[in-house]
Amino acid sequence: MSEPSPASTGAFSALMSRPYILLILCNLFWGGNVVAGKAAVGNIDPYALMVLRWAGAALLVLPFAIEPVRRDWPTIRAKWWLYLFYGAVGYATFNALCYVAAYYTSGFNIGLDQVTINIFVMLLSFILFRTRVRPLQLVGVAITIVGVALTASHGDLSRILALDINFGDLLVLIASLAYAVYSITLRWRPQTDWRSFLLATFIGAALASLVFAATAGGGLAYVASTVPSITPLGWIIAAYTMVLPSIISQMFYVRGVELIGANRASLFINLIPLFGAAGSVLILGERLETFHFIAAALVMSGIVLAEWSARRA
């Protein structure tokens, strides 16, 4: 393989110094992952998809990470548990819950529910680090919560009072909490090469995926038996998830958090519903209900208000 040209290296360095572009692209690919997770139903077992995704991502990164890992090995060996945590919680747990949720709720809902990641990040930042939140930000968050609640209850808020929330939406909310924890803990990310970080965390995610498959997935033998029945579309979905939402998005998100912090970077996650909804309608042919439009308007209004308040600060 030829060495990258100085121009390409310079372009990559320039891209990695622009947090807004990185975070928009990152969430575009994650929005595609929402569509891929929903399209996977009937084409590939969710636990098989998860194992293939993270094991495949680790293998793809490996050739580029060998030298960085050698340099960073003392740090990786000392902080192995932290890399395992990142992979297990931020990658495997989040995606396991979202892929299973696709069997119970729509792709639009899965995308919209993920705006709660930012809410959880703000809450955890305040609890753990006393990060200041302005009153208008809280109002914006409250409006966003109403929008998400409208989605999770499928347009009937009284179902929440009766604790009758769609199971798929509940899984996505739990997944969002897991990813918020991952985002917060990135402030303790060991200072290693990004390729070393990706490989170590992908290995952690692959190991955690095997645990999920062995327990919740019906056993490793059962999950392995579903591989021959994966459709061509299922393999395409697996390939997509290995590259764009895994390698590229995770690299861009980690860099974005480094540049502007978890609180601000997590706001961009609110783009997932837009990209996910567009893909769900255009690719999956999902039908939007009236409550979807109302919920989306509430969520976006809350986001704009919270961001406007944060910028004033």
Question: What is the pLDDT at residue 152?
Answer: 61
pLDDT in tens, 213-265: 999 899 999 999 999 999 999 999 999 999 999 999 988 988 888 887 776 77
- Under the banding of pLDDT at 50, 70 and 90, the label for residue 127 is confident
pLDDT in tens, 72-126: 999 999 999 999 999 999 999 998 998 889 888 877 778 777 778 877 887 888 7
Asked if residues 34 and 241 have their Cβ atoms less than 8 Å apart, the reply is no
Supply the pTM of this predicted model.
0.79
Mean pLDDT of the chain: 84
Indicate if the pLDDT at residue 267 is higher than 80: no
Question: What is the pLDDT at residue 1?
Answer: 38
pLDDT higher at 54 or 152? 54
pLDDT higher at 262 or 152? 262
pLDDT higher at 11 or 189? 189
pLDDT higher at 51 or 276? 51
Q: What 8-state DSSP symbol labels residue 289?
A: P
Q: What is the DSSP string of 236-268?
A: HHHHHHIIIIIIIHHHHHHHHHHHH-HHHHHHG
pLDDT in tens, 17-43: 888 889 889 989 988 988 898 899 999
Asked if residues 90 and 204 have their Cβ atoms less than 8 Å apart, the reply is no
**Alpha-carbon gap, residue 86 to 78, rounded angstroms:** 15
**Alpha-carbon gap, residue 299 to 151, rounded angstroms:** 10
Residue 107: CA count within 13 A, CB half-sphere: 27
> Across 85-212, where does the E strand assignment appear?
none
Q: What is the dihedral of CA 230, 235, 236, 237, to 10 degrees?
A: 70
